[in-house]
């Protein structure tokens, strides 16, 4: 389990992380989303023990991460900005990884190289950005990490490779209880794979919940009444409301059953209840004023 508590980090007067909490359950996939500059990469660099927080604590399995050799041996990290030793090819890099990661699996490495169809003897610097991502993924996954930290892992990957990458991740989560923290802007993909989501904004954690719970709590509805009551939405937590003729468009944060019950009491002639996608939740949570939401969500 990864536990980040009250972490602060300031860069030359700029507060990159502010009193930040994050909890990743063992054997789960945690999606970290946020606007550009929200602090995702900074947070990930703290979780991987690269940077040291100014305040707060970061624990993995109840042990501090920073300078923790034992944890680092069981952790795999793929940054957005990749780095390999100059002039090394995949095979040489694998040799180095093998020498420093005690649980390195040569079988998995061989299998993945075959599956991803990468030339082991070609210099990594000659690879395309997508191929370099694949190489980093092969190296990291072959070290059989218990904790996998991915920063924008699927950027530049084609759909087939993306599927393959997620397949490996999901299999390891299922089979080895690997814990995954992944940051991405591809919310559709995150929606399909993550168990939990944390939405980061300006260095603060805005929302951190199980994805299912998050999605079942917030709804987009279209409703029209023949004889509308004075307040047909009384008892509901209406986050946003607008009217287009006789049709009301609303975003409501309540349990689905409660929403259906209260709206049904007013005999609507039109009543469509739709769950918000993660993308829509993200836009709603971080999008700013209502007028902006209006144009994006409806």
Q: Please check whether residue 193 is in contact with residue 166, taking contact to mean a CB–CB distance below 8 angstroms.
A: yes
Least distance from C-beta 272 to other proteins, angstroms? 47
Question: Beta 247-253 vs 238-244: how paired, if at all?
Answer: antiparallel
Least distance from C-beta 98 to other proteins, angstroms? 9
Q: Which is nearer to other proteins, 85 or 174 (CB)?
A: 85
| Share of the chain residues as helix, strand and coil, in percent rounded to the nearest 5 | 35, 30, 30
Least distance from C-beta 165 to other proteins, angstroms? 19
Least distance from C-beta 152 to other proteins, angstroms? 13
Least distance from C-beta 143 to other proteins, angstroms? 9
Closest by Cα among 66, 67, 31, 17 to 148: 31
Q: Which is nearer to other proteins, 73 or 216 (CB)?
A: 73
Cα–Cα distance list, 162 to 134, 150, 151, 157, 177 (Å) = 9, 13, 14, 6, 21
Number of other CB atoms surrounding residue 154 within 10 Å? 22
- Among all chains, which residue has been given the structure tokens 């991405």? 184
The enclosing H or E element of 89 equals none
Sign of the Cα pseudo-torsion (26, 29, 34, 37, in order): positive
Q: Which is nearer to other proteins, 76 or 232 (CB)?
A: 76
Sign of the Cα pseudo-torsion (132, 135, 140, 141, in order): positive
Q: Which is nearer to other proteins, 136 or 252 (CB)?
A: 136
Classified as helix, coil or strand, 267 is: coil
Q: Which is nearer to other proteins, 76 or 198 (CB)?
A: 76
Residue ranges that bind other proteins, judged by CB under 8 A: 11, 45, 48-51, 67, 69, 72-73, 75, 77, 79, 81-83, 85-88, 92, 96, 99-101, 149
Q: If you ran DSSP here, which 8-state letter would residue 231 be given?
A: -
Q: Which is nearer to other proteins, 101 or 168 (CB)?
A: 101
Least distance from C-beta 174 to other proteins, angstroms? 25
| 266, HSE (Cβ side, Cα atoms, 13 Å) | 20
Q: Which is nearer to other proteins, 13 or 289 (CB)?
A: 13
Least distance from C-beta 191 to other proteins, angstroms? 27
């Amino acid at each position: 389990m990864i536990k980040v508590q009250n972490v602060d980090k300031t860069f030359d007067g700029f507060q990159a992380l502010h009193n930040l909490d994050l909890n990743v359950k063992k054997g789960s996939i945690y999606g970290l989303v946020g606007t550009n500059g929200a602090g995702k990469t900074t947070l990930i660099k703290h979780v991987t023990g690269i940077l040291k927080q100014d305040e707060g604590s970061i624990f993995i399995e109840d042990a501090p991460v920073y300078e923790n050799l034992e944890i680092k041996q069981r952790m795999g990290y793929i940054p957005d900005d990749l780095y390999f030793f100059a002039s090394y090819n995949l095979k040489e890099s694998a040799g180095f990884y093998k020498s420093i990661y005690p649980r390195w699996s040569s079988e998995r490495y061989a299998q993945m190289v075959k599956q991803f169809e990468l030339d082991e003897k070609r210099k990594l610097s000659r690879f395309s950005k997508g191929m370099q991502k694949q190489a980093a993924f092969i190296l990291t996954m072959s070290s059989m990490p218990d904790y996998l930290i991915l920063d924008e892992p699927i950027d530049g990957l084609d759909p087939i490779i993306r599927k393959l990458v997620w397949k490996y991740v999901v299999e390891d989560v299922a089979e080895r209880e690997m814990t995954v923290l992944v940051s991405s802007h591809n919310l559709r993909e995150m929606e399909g794979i993550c168990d939990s989501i944390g939405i980061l904004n300006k260095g603060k954690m805005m929302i951190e919940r199980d994805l299912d719970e998050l999605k079942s709590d917030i709804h987009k509805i279209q409703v029209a009444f023949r004889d509308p009551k004075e307040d047909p939405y009384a008892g509901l937590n209406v986050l946003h409301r607008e009217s287009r003729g006789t049709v009301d468009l609303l975003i409501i944060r309540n349990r689905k059953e409660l929403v259906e019950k209260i709206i049904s009491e007013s005999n609507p002639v039109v009543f469509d209840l739709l769950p918000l996608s993660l993308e829509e939740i993200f836009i709603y949570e971080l999008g700013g004023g209502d007028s902006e939401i209006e144009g994006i969500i409806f």
